[in-house]
Structure 1
Amino acid sequence: MDFNFTPEELAFRDEVRAFVDAELSPGLRDKVLGGKRLSKDDFIGWHKALYRKGWVAPNWPVEYGGTGWTAVQRHIFEEELADAGAPATLPFGLRMVAPVIMAFGSPAQKEYFLPRILSGEHWWCQGYSEPGSGSDLASLKTRAERQGDTYIVNGQKTWTTLGQHADWIFCLVRTNPEARKQEGISFLLIDMKTPGITVRPIIMLDGEHEVNEVWFDNVEVPVDNRVGEENKGWTYAKFLLGHERTGIAEIGRSKRWLKQLKQIATQQPASDGGKLIDDLRFRDRVAQVEIELMALEVTNLRVIAAEMEHKAPGPEASLLKIRGSEIQQTLSELMMLALGHDALPFQHAALDPGYDGPLAGPDYGPPLTGQYFNMRKTTIYGGSNEIQKNIISKMILGF
C-alpha cells in the first residue's frame, strides 16, 4: 500500500482545509479542542454546514446523497475535520439507522426518512440496550404486540445516548416471545413524540447528562414503521452493529489526542526536574500507542474501501472496535498520567464554555478527568470487546 497521497488527493485535502477554515467558527473549534461542553445547536449547526456542502454523508451511496469519494478521500476528510477540532457528526442517523433503511427499508421509508436524516431535520437515538440485556442483546424484553395495523410497545431501554434531544428512536423489540431469542425480534422506527414515551436522565460520573433511560408505556407504533420482516430484526441489528463498530475506531480523534498528549508532555515536569517528554519510559509508552494507531489506520482504510464498494463490514469491524477502543483508553490514561497530581481534582463547572473561574491546575486539565471516565465505556458499548473476540474467533479462525 502506497502511503503517499497523489497530487489529486493533496488538492482534495487543501479543499477540505479551506472549507473548514471558512465554515468552522473559532468559538466552536475552541470548544471542541478545549474539551468544553457542546450544545445541541453546536452539533446541528455543523451538520447543516456539511449538508450544504454535500459532505455530510460520505459513507452513503451517491444516489441517496453520498459523495462518491474514494476510501482515501474519505480518510483525508475525517482526519482533517478531527484535527481541526470540528464536532463529530452524530452516528445514530447517518451511520447506523440510515444504512439499515437503505438495505432493508420500504420505498416509502427511504423516501421519508433518508432526506430528513441527511438534512439534519431528524435527530436519532438508539434503542438497543436494556437492563440485563447489554452484551446479551438478544435477551431483550421490550414487547411489541400487534393489534391490526399498530404495534403496542411496552418496556425499557437504557444507556440511550443523547435521547433527550432525539426526534426518533430505532428500537429492537420482541414480537414473538415463543421463538428462539434471535428469531422473535423486530426492528421499529418510533417517533419520540408519541404518547407513552418517557425519557429519564442518567447522570454520569463526570456530572454530564449524555445517556438516558427510555420507557415505553402502551406506545402505539404503525406497522408501516417496521423495517423489513416481522421477527427478522436480529439480522438488521447485526448489519447495523457492523457499521457502528467501524465508527467506534475514531482514528481521527485518536490522532488529535495523540498530538495533545505530546503537547502536554512537553509542558509537564518529570521527577528528575526535566520535562515529561524526555522521560524514556513515558516516551516508550507514547511510541507504542502511536505505532498501534498507525496499524489501526491501515486496517481502517481497508474497511472503508470495502464499505465504499457496498460490502457490509465483516469481522474486520470487530477488530477496529477492539483496537480503536483500547487505544482511546490508553491515550486518556496517558494524559491523566502526564497531569500527575493535577489530574486529581475534577472541576465540572470548568467544562462550561464561558467559565472564567479559578482552576486547580493547568487550563488544559479539567476536561481530561471527565474524558478518562467517559472512555471506560468504549470497550463495552457497541458489543463488548470480549464479544468481539468471540466473533473474530468464530468468523476468521473457525472456533
Structure 2
Amino acid sequence: MVARPDTVTTSVGMTLREDDAHQRFRSKARAWLASNLPSGELPPAHTREGFELRRDWERRLFEAGWAAVHWPSEYGGRDATVRESAIFTEEYLRAGAPERINGLGLNLLGPALLEFGTLAQCRRWLPSILRCDDIWCQGFSEPDAGSDLAGLRSVARRDGDEFVVDGQKIWTSLAGFGDWIFALVRTDPLAPKHRGITMLAIDLRSEGVDIRPLRQLDGDPSFAEVFFSGVRVPTDQVIGDVADGWRVAMHALGLERGSSFGAHVGCSRDVDALVRLREIVAEHLADDLADGDLDDRIARVLVRSEAYRAMSRRMLTRDELGIAHPAEASAAKLFRTELRHETFDLGIELLGELGELSPGSDELSSRFGAEFDAIWRHWHHEYWYARAAKIFAGTSEVQRNIIAERWLGLPKEGRDVARAG
C-alpha cells in the first residue's frame, strides 16, 4: 500500500489537524464499524439477496445513529459538524463497509427536504430514508433532456388537490428496487424554459407507473426507464414551491457533484489496487506487459490521487468557513470522474488482450490466482461505472462549461457560437 500524509495544508491557510473532539469522534466511529461490519463478502448489490442484506445493514446503522451523522437528531442523525461528517465517511470507506443503497435519498433528497421541504414532509420521509423503509430514485433525465435538463417534457396537470402526471424518465438509477421517485415535471408549459418546472415526490407503486429495467453491461438491473400515464399525485407531495423545481434541482445536483468528502479515500484505494494489480501482472507476464510507459502513467494517477485528496480537504475547510465557491463542486466532480476513468482504463491496459476477459474466466484464474480474481471482479464493475460517472450528475462537458463561465468568467457557450456565426 502507498504511504500517504496525515495532514494537508490548504490554500486558505489552515492545516487539517484534528483536535481531541475530532479524534474521539473518529475513534468512536472506527470502533463501532469494526464491531458491527457484516462478516464475509455480501452478494452483489444489484441482486435481490444482496440488496436486502444491505437494507438490513442500513437499519443497523440507523439504530446506532450512524445512518446520516450530519442530519438533525430529531430525524435520526447526530447533529454532526461538517468535519465530523467527513470523518465518518472516511472511516466508513476505509473499513470497506457495504455500499450505501439509498444514496439518492440520503445525499440528494434528504438535504433538499431539509432546505425546501415542509415540516410534515421531513417527518414523513427523512426517518424512512435512513431506515431504508423507502428507497428513492431520481427522475430528472428524459430521452430528449439529458444534459439539457430544462428541456424535459414530462407534464403534471393540476386537478383539484392532485397533479396528474404523464411522461417518461430514463437512466433512472435504483428504479428497479425503488419505492419512491423525486421527479421534475413541467407544470406550466407556457413559462420560460427553466421556469414552470416543479419537483414532485411520486410513489412508484401508484397506478399508471410502469418501470422497465435497463440491464447494464455489468449485469446490474436496477437501472430503468420509468413511464407515467395519468399518475395522480397529491399536491402535498410538491417539494419546494410549484414552478420552483429548477432551484430545488440545482441545489440537489450541487450536492451530488460536490459530495466528495471522503471520496478521496475511494480514489486512493483504487490507485493502491492498481499498483497491486501491476505487481501481480508483472509476476506472471514478465516482459510481456502491453505498454512500456504504463509505470509512468500509474505514477501519474498516483500523483493525481494525492492532488484530489488535497482538493477534497480544501473544499472541506472552505465549507466549514462558509466560503465555498459555487463552481467548486463542478471542479471536484470533473477531477474525480476523470481520475477514476484513467485509473480503471490503466488496469484494463495492463493485461493487454487478456483485459477483454470477464471476471471468473478460467484463463485469468489459472494464470493469476485468487487474489487477482477478487481485484478483477471489482475492477470490471468499476471500469464500466467510471464511464457512467462522466455522464451522471452533469457530463464532463457540462462541468467544464460551468467552470469556464462561473469561475473563469468566460462567455457563455451560446454567445461564442453567435459571434462565430
The TM tier, using the shorter chain, reads 0.7 to 0.9
- Alignment of structure 1 residues 196-215 onto 2, 5 Å: 196-215=208-227
* 1:93-130 superposed Cα distances (whole Å, 9 cap, x missing partner): 11101111111112211221112112222110000000
Equivalent residue, structure 2, for 1:389? 400
Q: Match for 1:24: what amino acid?
A: L
Q: Could you list the runs of 5+ residues in structure 2 that have no partner in the other structure?
A: 1-8, 10-14, 411-421
1:51 Cα deviation (Å)?
1.1
Equivalent residue, structure 2, for 1:189? 201
Equivalent residue, structure 2, for 1:85? 96
TM-score normalised by length of structure 1:
0.88
Tell me how many residue pairs correspond in the alignment: 386
Distance 2:140 2:205 in 1: 19
1:43 Cα deviation (Å)?
2.6
* 1:123-147 superposed Cα distances (whole Å, 9 cap, x missing partner): 1000000001100000000010001
Structure 2 contact 46–222 (Cα < 8 Å) conserved: no
Distance 2:305 2:225 in 1: 34
Equivalent residue, structure 1, for 2:348? 336
> Which of 21, 42, 46 is residue 34 of structure 2 equivalent to?
21
Distance 2:229 2:199 in 1: 18
Equivalent residue, structure 1, for 2:54? 43
Q: Assess, with a 3 A threshold, how the Cα gap between structure 1 residues 60 and 313 changes in structure 2: closer, same or farther.
A: farther
Distance 1:272 1:131 in 2: 45
Structure 2 contact 75–123 (Cα < 8 Å) conserved: no
Distance 2:341 2:149 in 1: 24
> Per the alignment, in what secondary structure is the counterpart of residue 253 of structure 2?
helix
Distance 2:169 2:219 in 1: 21
1:207 Cα deviation (Å)?
2.7
> Per the alignment, in what secondary structure is the counterpart of residue 393 of structure 2?
coil
The answer to whether 1:258 aligns with 2:271 is yes
- Percent of aligned positions with the same letter in both sequences? 33
TM-score normalised by length of structure 2:
0.83
Q: Assess, with a 3 A threshold, how the Cα gap between structure 1 residues 68 and 286 changes in structure 2: closer, same or farther.
A: farther
Q: Could you list the runs of 5+ residues in structure 1 that have no partner in the other structure?
A: 351-356
Structure 2 contact 181–202 (Cα < 8 Å) conserved: yes
Structure 2 contact 43–50 (Cα < 8 Å) conserved: no
Equivalent residue, structure 1, for 2:281? 268
> Per the alignment, in what secondary structure is the counterpart of residue 282 of structure 2?
coil
The answer to whether 1:314 aligns with 2:288 is no
Structure 2 contact 65–78 (Cα < 8 Å) conserved: yes
1:373 Cα deviation (Å)?
1.9
> Which of 167, 171, 179 is residue 167 of structure 1 equivalent to?
179
Equivalent residue, structure 1, for 2:137? 125
> Per the alignment, in what secondary structure is the counterpart of residue 377 of structure 1?
helix
Distance 1:96 1:229 in 2: 17
Equivalent residue, structure 2, for 1:110? 122
> Per the alignment, in what secondary structure is the counterpart of residue 269 of structure 1?
helix
Q: Quote the RMSD (CA, aligned, Å).
A: 2.8
Structure 1 contact 242–313 (Cα < 8 Å) conserved: no
| 105-114 or 69-78, larger mean C-alpha shift | 69-78
> Which of 267, 283, 295 is residue 295 of structure 2 equivalent to?
283
Distance 2:358 2:288 in 1: 24
| 310-319 or 332-341, larger mean C-alpha shift | 310-319
Equivalent residue, structure 1, for 2:4? none
